[in-house]
Amino acid sequence: MQSTALTLGRRLVVVDLAGREIDIAIVFAEMAKQDIAAVVMSTEALFTVFRDQVISLSARHNIATIFPNREYVQSGGLISFGADLYEHYRIAGDYTARLLKGAQPADLPVQIPTKFDLMINRKTAQALGLTVPPTLRGITLEVLE
């Protein structure tokens, strides 16, 4: 990400909140003071717990935020790109059924995500003053209106 940011003439700022007790509102206020235009959220569980607060702070500070899964966009976030969680749940159910039928855990294959979703909330994009390009709309799983 750092090399891409430099190529685009942008500055990449990494904010690591893992294991720290910090007010997310303060972090967003500091990012706004630094004129940070966009944020890529990690899959850290902390952000899932505070999903609505993160979405609200993104909007309040006019920071375009990319989230790891579609639930954020369905709750008002701008854009998400990540593995399909429902596919993960289906696979977990399959693993559970196989274990209950006597399969040994060591015999079960390790699976990595193969299906990824790109989702955009057009209403949020408009509120941030962003236009969703037609090329991006063409590869998006869903554009929420």
- Torsion angle, CA of 123/31/72/76, rounded to 10 degrees? -30
Q: Are 28 and 57 in contact (CB under 8 A)?
A: yes
Asked if residue 42 has pLDDT above 70, the reply is yes
What value does the mean pLDDT of the chain take? 85
∠ Cα 53 112 96 (to 5°): 85
Residue-range domain boundaries for the chain: 2-83+115-144
pLDDT average, residue stretch 104-122? 88
Show Cβ contacts of residue 49 under 8 Å, excluding neighbours closer than 6 positions: none
Rounded CA-CA distance 55/66 in Å is 10
pLDDT at 58: 92
Least confident of 4-18, 83-97, 122-136: 4-18
Rounded CA-CA distance 73/66 in Å is 9
pLDDT at 79: 92
pLDDT > 70 fraction of the chain, expressed in percent and rounded: 92
Rounded CA-CA distance 128/14 in Å is 22
pLDDT average, residue stretch 64-89? 89
Asked if residue 96 has pLDDT above 90, the reply is yes
Give the pLDDT band (50/70/90) at residue 107: very high
pTM of the predicted protein model: 0.76
How many CA atoms are closer than 13 Å to the CA of 111, on its beta-carbon side?
15
pLDDT average, residue stretch 17-27? 75
- CATH of 2-83+115-144 given 3.30.420.40, 3.40.50.300, 3.40.50.2300, 3.90.45.10: 3.40.50.2300
Q: Are 45 and 31 in contact (CB under 8 A)?
A: no
Residue type, 12: L
